[in-house]
């Protein structure tokens, strides 16, 4: 708990320093937004997802109209996903899809929606989402991952053999 608080505190100090840069040099707003984004991304790369989540949210508050906003929204979802907050992650990835229709993160966000549904054991929504990834982004890396996820999913009407025969595998 103390480690988490210290990590979050250090992340917030970095963010406040970056905020200071943004206020001090409004003519360099794009440069300061990039600097803040890169600093927060470092937190993510170091697997400090709590600090990165706070940082990307802060970034969106300051730079919600920047060219990096869609990416920051995606990374909010990714942090939530990695922290196991699957319902929150779903909302964040859906937000990328709805609010940033030209984002290069659309395929990745759509794939992550499917993965979050898989974690939530909503296999039908996961299947539909994976099929959407394959249909809309057929030549992408995300489509290849979606195909693999589809192959690994149980068939829609498939029942375990023990239910069909009344015997378990141990019988």
Tens-digit pLDDT profile for residues 103-115? 999 999 999 999 9
Percent of the chain with pLDDT over 90: 71
Per-residue pLDDT tens digits for 62-99: 999 999 999 999 999 999 999 999 999 999 999 999 99
What crossing angle do the helices spanning 69-82 and 49-63 adopt, rounded to 10°?
Answer: 160
Work out the pLDDT band at 155, boundaries 50, 70, 90. confident
CATH 1.25.40.10 segments of the chain? 67-153
Domain spanning 67-153, CATH architecture:
Alpha Horseshoe (1.25)
Q: Give me the mean pLDDT over the 125-141 stretch.
A: 98
Whether 22 shows a pLDDT value over 50: the answer reads no
> Using CA atoms, how far apart are residues 44 and 58, in angstroms rounded to an integer?
14
pTM score of the predicted model: 0.75
The pLDDT-based confidence of 41 (bands split at 50, 70, 90) is: very high
Q: Are 13 and 36 in contact, with CB atoms under 8 Å apart?
A: no
């Amino acid at each position: 708990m103390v480690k988490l608080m210290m990590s979050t505190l250090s992340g917030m100090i970095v963010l406040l320093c970056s905020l200071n840069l943004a206020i001090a040099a409004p003519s360099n707003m794009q440069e300061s937004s990039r600097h803040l984004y890169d600093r927060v991304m470092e937190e993510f790369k170091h697997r400090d997802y709590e600090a990165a989540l706070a940082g990307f949210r802060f970034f969106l508050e300051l730079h919600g109209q920047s060219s990096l906003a869609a990416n920051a929204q995606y990374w909010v979802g990714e942090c939530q996903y990695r922290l196991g907050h699957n319902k929150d992650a779903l909302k964040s990835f859906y937000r990328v899809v709805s609010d940033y229709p030209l984002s290069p993160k659309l395929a990745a966000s759509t794939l992550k929606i499917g993965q979050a549904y898989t974690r939530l054991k909503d296999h039908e929504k996961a299947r539909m989402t994976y099929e959407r990834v394959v249909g809309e982004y057929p030549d992408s890396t995300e489509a290849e991952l979606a195909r693999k996820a589809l192959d690994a999913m149980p068939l829609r009407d498939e029942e375990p053999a023990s239910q069909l025969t009344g015997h378990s595998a141990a019988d």
